[in-house]
Amino acid sequence: MPNPSPVNAVLVINSGSSSVKYALFTDSDQAVLTGLAERLNTAEAQLSWKSQGEKQVKTLPNAQVGDILPLLLAQVSKQISGLDNLLAIGHRVVHGGELFSEPTRITHDNLVQLKSISHLAPLHNPANIVAIEILLQQQPSIPQVAVFDTAFHQSMPEKAYRYALPNALYHQHGIRRYGFHGTSHQFVSQQAMKELQWPKQTGMIVAHLGNGCSATAVYQGQSLDTSMGLTPLEGLMMGTRSGNIDPSIPTFLQLQLGMNAEKVEHILNKESGLLGISELSNDMRSLLDARNKGNELAKLAIDMFCYRLAKEIAGLATALPHWDALVFTGGIGENSKPIREQTISNLAAFGLKLNPDANQEPEAHGHLIHQADSRVQIAVITTNEEWQIASQSLSLVQQ
């Protein structure tokens, strides 16, 4: 049955070039409606949604974002007895540059500013903006809020966010490290302090591990450094992204192998990482299964992933006045016991000690998976990026 009188109804939209993911929150951090439109602009386009435990699927051949939004708004309206009860629409926007360092209520004026930095995330921001523009036109009375993946990292000091490039490239073109997954890192670090009663002065490193991966050093609730940079390609080895490589490799691929820039970018973003090394899959579950069956390339991919993750974590510790905690989150971080175990074994020199029993069932051990004599506390915290966007959007419109 629809919720007849929600107190705080907020819709969260994550619009991509070929998909739209959405979630409706009312009076708790658990969504009452979730949905995903995928394979948009193709004959296989479809919309699936779930409410009250019931999942439905509708095929929508060649549907575009503009076709999906009225359908999902109709679902929302039914759920909360009319769109008049919707207090805000929160949009996940990947890149805010230096213009947007906090959640922002969208107006026609600052939408122009947002478009002006689309070049910083050409694969993401234009798709985010499409949904915003359509809803501004169709539902002008509903407040829309942009919540930026980069915003949480705007607290990084200049020594952390600058590249060792000529100053003009930063001052005139904005080439610097911005960081991403900010909503997840912010939510998880706050949730860890809340659930584990850690003080604000806890120096922690949060490892968000999924198909995209990043790690962030957090102190007093602020990001001091993070693994991703100008784009989400920098940093850790990921599902299909290479992470850190020699900066001369793209030039080598262009000059020696005759590849154009688009081909190089495609290889680094779509054909590398776990997929590129294993030649099998970008899914960690499939690789762990293949490793257990003796697949050497799967083993190599996993070994590289855990080694490079540990190496990045160790480096990020230098951003903290003291390193007190390591937190795993994201699909891999929350669910893959072998990856947590192997990564922590690579950090033995820093005194990290895993409790094997707790690693099997983190929830049963209060989220903590370290031994009593470990120099660094180790936790597993479930992320909830959609709720973070919803709560920030609600807070802004209620001010």
3-state secondary structure the chain: CCCCCCCCEEEEEEECCCCEEEEEECCCCCCCEEEEEECCCCCCCEEEEEECCEEEEEECCCCCHHHHHHHHHHHHHHHHCCHHHEEEEEEEECCCCCCCCCCEECCHHHHHHHHHCHHHCCCCHHHHHHHHHHHHHHCCCCCEEEEECCHHHHHCCHHHHCCCCCHHHHHCCCCCCCCCCHHHHHHHHHHHHHHHCCCCCCCEEEEEECCCEEEEEEECCEEEEECCCCCCCCCCCCCCCCCCCCCCHHHHHHHHHCCCHHHHHHHHHHCCHHHHHHCCCCCHHHHHHHHHCCCHHHHHHHHHHHHHHHHHHHHHHHHCCCCCEEEEEHHHHHHCHHHHHHHHHCCHHHCCCECHHHHHCCHHHCCECECCCCCCEEEECCCCHHHHHHHHHHHHHHC
Q: Which of 67, 109, 149, 283 is catalytic?
A: 149
- Who contacts 201 (Cβ-Cβ below 8 Å, separation ≥6)? 219, 220
Coil, strand, or helix at residue 130?
helix
Whole-angstrom distance, CA of residue 386 vs CA of residue 391: 9
Is 357 assigned a catalytic role? no
**Cβ atoms 215, 199 nearer than 8 A:** no
List residues with catalytic annotation: 149
